[in-house]
Amino acid sequence: MSKRSKSELEIDDVTQKISTFLSCAPNEQIIHRSKHIAYCVDAIYSLHRTSDSLAFVQPWVMYWNLHALDILDAVHWAFGDTIEYGDWEKSCLGLDTSHCVSQTVRILVECAASYPNKFKSDFSQELSAHSLDTFIRAGLDYDSHTVENGVLTRLKVRCKECGISIDCVLAESTAVVAGLLIKHHRSCSPKCARAGMILPHRAEVLNAIQSCFHTTIDQDPYSPGGYGGCQGQMPHLASTYAAVNSLLIIGGTNYPDAYEAIHRESLQKWIDTLYNPQEGSFRMHADGEVDVRATYCALSVASLLNLKLKALGAEATNGDGSTVSAGMKSIKQSKIVGFIKRCQTYEGGFSCTPFDEAHGGYSFCAMSVLLMLGKWNEANLPLLRKWISQRQCFTTGGFNGRTNKLVDACYSFWIGSVVGLSEVAEAHNVSYSDDSNHTTYDLLRWIHLVPRDHNPNDTFDFARWSNVCCVDFRKLTNFLLSAAQDATKGGFRDKPWVRVDAYHTCYSLSGLAIAQRFLPDALWKLKDINPIFNLCHDRVTSALLKFGGRGCI
């Protein structure tokens, strides 16, 4: 038997630690929304009041926290001028609280009326089985009960957010019991609301993003336009991607001034200067590195804002001033596709540049680019799916990003999104085969992934494809909710013993949003996201309608 390397021993050691943690931790099935909302709001509020290194990547910090709040359907909590007291009930629980409370009270009344005839064995076990789904959705759990003279008179339920027990006297009217539960939910609000913290004004958030934009040639003679990491930094495609996504989140929340703040013409000219026609790729910044990240960021911004990039053959002209032919446009795009294809490795995943190592993040970028260009069939999908299946750790359920690397919560999105992208790409291949039918084609109209006609009633039926999924999303969600989620302070982390941060919070929630599409019985409810852009579906649709985009496929 060959001697094992140091890295292999380290992986085994960390995997064993995570497995031990999971075996001892409670099997979480809920998302602690109030804690995560408070964490993200606090991160936005604190950004300009700290000397932390994150101040130099302001667009990313804004995007991570705004998108996390948006997935939780609580982005309005980022702006102190928009909060209504009743909004907390929906944001904290992810659905209408009054419905949950009424359902809970109905169950309590049924319990009182049927005791002890209906519940023959241990009452707590029967109650949990009878009302588990509704109780969890209402953020409650069974605590204890009281029986007097053979009659069930009191039932205590425990709030999963704060651990406080609520004593329900079942002899009282249902309205009294419902009022008691609603009163508790209102008191169990984020720390920012409880402590009276001043929330960031939307003007603050907009100004922070706009301060990163390069508006004149005087700032940088090589690159007028684009967003930097903070004021004074050179414009960078990654920062531009984060800034544009942040503005689209704000603009889609009934703030059209955020849309107007996007300098589309300047962005279009600047992005075109970063194109490398020899390789069919983009640079991250002037004289910067070339990789699939740059191509993804450029095409993502161009697709959402409907930018007519010359690099894609849009509105380009010949020497005599005539418009280039469709064939020339196809040639320009085929160069980009060729670069992406050269990045797919023998393992099946995609690397940052040709002949490099396959990586989860780069695979996401590559597949997104192919789908944005309508060239999904250019990837070797069976080989990609094989590589994806090898990214999940059988013991912990988490994903890693490369071969022989440790699991990391952020890869729940980077790898999880590629699962969805590859499934839709495969569905397209099936739809165009000789034996396809109209029903199969209907499955492709998954507007949560690729908007076509901006029809919110079109959905991709994941139930018909989940049986061939190459990963176990149920084990993944157990890893995220039990090991990566901080149920006390809020936020998500890389691994159980690591500090939470905005990056892992954003991509863990994004991964859970992907997973819920494959788990129709999930006990949480997040907003649906578009994995190509990693924005909530309604933000993508609003942007396409605003700027006249047509979607990707």
User: One of 92, 352, 410, 552 is an active-site residue; which one?
Assistant: 410
User: One of 158, 191, 264, 402 is an active-site residue; which one?
Assistant: 402
User: One of 70, 494, 528, 538 is an active-site residue; which one?
Assistant: 494
Q: Which of 391, 304, 384, 403 lies closest to 340 in space, CA to CA?
A: 384
Distance of CA 277 to the CA centre of its chain: 33
User: One of 296, 411, 503, 507 is an active-site residue; which one?
Assistant: 411
Is position 410 annotated as part of the catalytic site?
A: yes
User: One of 504, 517, 527, 546 is an active-site residue; which one?
Assistant: 504
Is position 236 annotated as part of the catalytic site?
A: no
Q: Which of 517, 292, 338 lies closest to 419 in space, CA to CA?
A: 517
- Cβ proximity of 370 and 532 under 8 Å: no
**Angle between the N-to-C axes of helices 360-372 and 292-305, in degrees from 0 to 180, rounded to the nearest 10:** 40
Length of the chain in residues, anyone?
553
- Cβ proximity of 470 and 423 under 8 Å: no
User: One of 42, 272, 501, 528 is an active-site residue; which one?
Assistant: 501
Tokens standing for residue 540: 């993508």
Is position 343 annotated as part of the catalytic site?
A: no
User: One of 405, 452, 489, 525 is an active-site residue; which one?
Assistant: 405
- Could you give the C-alpha distances from 282 to 260, 265, 328, 376, 479, in angstroms and in order? 26, 18, 19, 20, 36
- Cβ proximity of 125 and 145 under 8 Å: no
CA pair distance 190, 205, nearest whole angstrom = 20
Is position 408 annotated as part of the catalytic site?
A: yes
For residue 28, how many other CB atoms are within 10 A of its CB?
18
Is position 527 annotated as part of the catalytic site?
A: no
User: One of 137, 293, 341, 359 is an active-site residue; which one?
Assistant: 359
Q: How do strand 151-159 and strand 535-536 relate by DSSP bridges?
A: unpaired
462-493 as b/e: b if 16+ CB within 10 A: beebeeebbbebebbbbbbbbbbbbbeebbbb
List, by residue number, the catalytic residues: 359, 402, 405, 408, 410-411, 494, 501, 504
